[in-house]
Amino acid sequence: EAGVAQSPRYKIIEKRQSVAFWCNPISGHATLYWYQQILGQGPKLLIQFQNNGVVDDSQLPKDRFSAERLKGVDSTLKIQPAKLEDSAVYLCASSLTASGSTGELFFGEGSRLTVL
Amino acid sequence: AQSVTQLGSHVSVSEGALVLLRCNYSSSVPPYLFWYVQYPNQGLQLLLKYTSAATLVKGINGFEAEFKKSETSFHLTKPSAHMSDAAEYFCAVSDWSGANNLFFGTGTRLTVIP
């Protein structure tokens, strides 16, 4: 079974530029998550989708971050314009269902962003 | 609100020694608790989870954790460390709301000394 796929693995941009990350979850997984992991910290949820609807985006800085999950499969996370503090690893995860809170999230390898 | 605190950002043990990684949680409702492991340049992998069944939970690679409600703890242990255990370990908590959101601790980096 293929895991969660993310691209690109690494991205270096200058501040005020834009960047987009792509995620393809495990086939059949209804729930998709984007986490931000800053160096030395634990992952922090940015946004959670259930199929193509947003369940929780309370921690997403909406003035610069946006995410979509068209057709309820793959997802794109965009940052525009980027700030220095956006340097982090962006982790995508998926789970079979959000109900029951079993916590069985499957993570991709992450996209490491460096903002100069 | 749910949160976890991991005591010790770095832990070093000798190969063959006991591994103990500490995690304390805060939750207003009965929690689900998890340990994830992250190897360099890889995503997080689930080690084990507590979901209100047995308080002693066994996971992969010989790890186990015990849920202690009176101490609000969920410490991770392994009797004998192996070189391959060197990684970063994250404790996480979720609630029963169905949103399945995980709140992670800041992580503990485990170093195994040969």
A102–B104 CB contact, under 8 Å: no
- Which among B87, B81, B43, B48 has a CA at the least distance from the CA of B67? B48
- Which among B62, B65, B50 has a CA at the least distance from the CA of A104? B50
**Extended beta strands in chain A, E state:** 5-7, 10-13, 19-24, 31-37, 44-50, 53-56, 65-68, 75-79, 88-95, 106-107, 111-115
What distance separates the 2 farthest-apart alpha carbons in chain A?
42
A101–B99 CB contact, under 8 Å: yes
Nearest CA in chain B to A108: B43
B92–A45 CB contact, under 8 Å: no
CB B96 within 8 Å of CB A99:
no
* Residue A102 pLDDT grade (very low, low, confident, very high; cuts 50, 70, 90): low
Q: Of the candidates B95, B96, B105, which has its C-beta nearest A42's C-beta?
A: B105
Q: What is the pLDDT of residue B101?
A: 75
* Residue B96 pLDDT grade (very low, low, confident, very high; cuts 50, 70, 90): low
Q: Of the candidates A45, A91, A108, which has its C-beta nearest B101's C-beta?
A: A45
Tell me the per-residue pLDDT of B3-15, one tens digit each, with 9 for 90 and over.
Answer: 899 999 999 999 9
Signed CA dihedral, B30, B8, B19, A41: sign only: positive
Tell me the per-residue pLDDT of B23-53, one tens digit each, with 9 for 90 and over.
Answer: 999 887 778 899 999 998 788 999 998 887 7
Residue type, A40: G
Nearest CA in chain A to B5: A42
Q: Is the pLDDT of residue A100 over 60?
A: no
